[in-house]
């Protein structure tokens, strides 16, 4: 059984209305031993005040809940940062001085165009393959630019919003860029996540695709967290029952949790 959900949102994120207490209580009911709250910090959307995360209030709140629930579950303070190279200095200034347990680096936008909320704008004038490759190449640029994250989130997130989603998606069309992405992540001592929101979004598999996970393992990747990307209480631990078999099939013997950004490996 997977004991840790390391990608969880609360009402500190603009797209979630569930309190941290409610998410934590849901995790306890499911018998989880760890929950890491990872609310959004997407600076490309700072023009919309809803997207500005009050990190000081957030950090204090989650640390208060760590103490409140310490005898029932290990509550960890994380953050999900939307990475773009032009935001490097702003992102670092925003999170410096905070002792996060865990940081997800994610690609939610390319050239300040949001993939999810502005997908009509992002995909216009491009073939699906061109749009997907541009997205993956932007991840490569990010992993070469940033080192202030623990794992890279939902590596094939763009497929969730494509005109045909994964109907025509073939990992081999992007093998070259993924190999460079994953080699860079591993070389820099970072990891990736398995994000079960892909299952909720009818892709038929968690993010990223199994072929990407296999390449990561074959290249020597070891750090891999499991997250539901929960925005509702019923999302906590979603699809986790199938993850141990997937990991074992790919040759993984453990998964990872983080505390104070130090990885700890848990046997499957």
What average pLDDT does range 245-258 have in this prediction?
97
Distance CA 25, CA 5 (A): 13
Dump the DSSP string for 229-249. Answer: -BSSGGGTTTTGGGHHHHHHH
pLDDT in tens, 142-166: 999 999 999 999 999 999 999 999 9
**Residues 63, 99: Cα–Cα separation, whole Å:** 10
User: Cβ neighbours of residue 223 under 8 Å, at least 6 residues apart?
Assistant: 150, 151, 189, 190, 191, 192, 256, 263
Q: What is the pTM of this model?
A: 0.96
pLDDT tens track for 194-205: 999 999 988 999
Q: What is the mean pLDDT of residues 1-19?
A: 95
State whether residue 11 is helix, strand or coil. Answer: coil
CB 36 within 8 A of CB 237: no
- Cα dist from 175 to 29, 79, 137, 181, 203, whole Å: 40, 29, 11, 10, 20
Sorted by sequence, the CB contacts under 8 Å of residue 127 that are 6+ apart come out as none
HSE value, Cβ hemisphere, 13 Å, CA-based, for 267: 0
Q: Domain total for the chain?
A: 1
pLDDT tens for 163-200 read 999 999 999 999 999 999 999 999 999 999 999 999 99
Rounded CA-CA distance 138/230 in Å is: 25
Domain CATH for 123: 3.20.20.140
Residue with the bigger pLDDT between 135 and 42: it is: 135
How confident is residue 105, by pLDDT bands cut at 50, 70 and 90? very high
Taking alpha carbons only, the member of 86, 79, 87 closest to residue 105 is 79
Distance (Å, whole) CA 267 – CA 101: 20
Q: What is the pLDDT of residues 25-60, one digit of tens each?
A: 999 999 999 999 999 998 765 555 556 688 999 999
CA 100 and chain centroid, separation? 15
Left, alpha or beta for 97 (phi > 0: left; psi -120 to 50: alpha)? Answer: left
Write out the residue range of the structural domain in which residue 111 sits: 4-267
Return the beta strands (E) in the chain as ranges: 4-8, 34-41, 74-82, 102-106, 109-110, 113-114, 151-152, 191-195, 224-227, 254-259, 262-267
Angle at 10 between CA 94 and CA 244, to 5 degrees: 100
């Amino acid at each position: 059984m997977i004991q840790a959900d390391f990608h969880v949102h609360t009402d500190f994120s603009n797209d979630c209305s569930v309190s941290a207490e409610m998410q934590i209580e849901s995790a306890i009911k499911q018998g989880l031993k760890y929950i890491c709250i990872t609310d959004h910090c997407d600076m490309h959307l700072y023009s919309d005040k809803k997207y500005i995360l009050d990190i000081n209030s957030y950090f204090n709140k989650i640390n208060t809940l760590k103490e409140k629930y310490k005898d029932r579950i290990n509550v960890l303070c994380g953050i999900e940062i939307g990475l773009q190279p032009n935001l490097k200095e702003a992102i670092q200034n925003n999170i410096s001085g905070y002792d996060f347990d865990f940081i997800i680096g994610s690609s939610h936008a390319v050239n300040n165009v949001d993939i999810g909320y502005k997908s009509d704008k992002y995909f216009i004038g491009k073939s699906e393959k061109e749009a997907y490759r541009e997205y993956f190449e932007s991840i490569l640029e990010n992993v070469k630019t940033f080192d202030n994250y623990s794992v890279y989130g939902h590596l094939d997130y763009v497929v969730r919003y494509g005109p045909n989603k994964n109907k025509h998606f073939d990992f081999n069309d992007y093998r070259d860029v993924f190999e460079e992405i994953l080699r860079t992540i591993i070389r820099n001592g970072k990891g990736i996540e398995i994000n079960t929101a892909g299952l909720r979004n009818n892709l038929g598999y968690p993010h990223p695709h199994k072929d990407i996970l296999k390449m990561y393992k074959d290249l020597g990747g070891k750090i891999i967290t499991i997250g539901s990307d929960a925005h509702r209480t019923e999302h906590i631990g979603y699809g986790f029952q199938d993850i141990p078999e997937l990991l074992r099939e790919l040759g993984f013997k453990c998964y990872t949790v983080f505390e104070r950004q130090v990885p700890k490996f848990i046997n499957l």
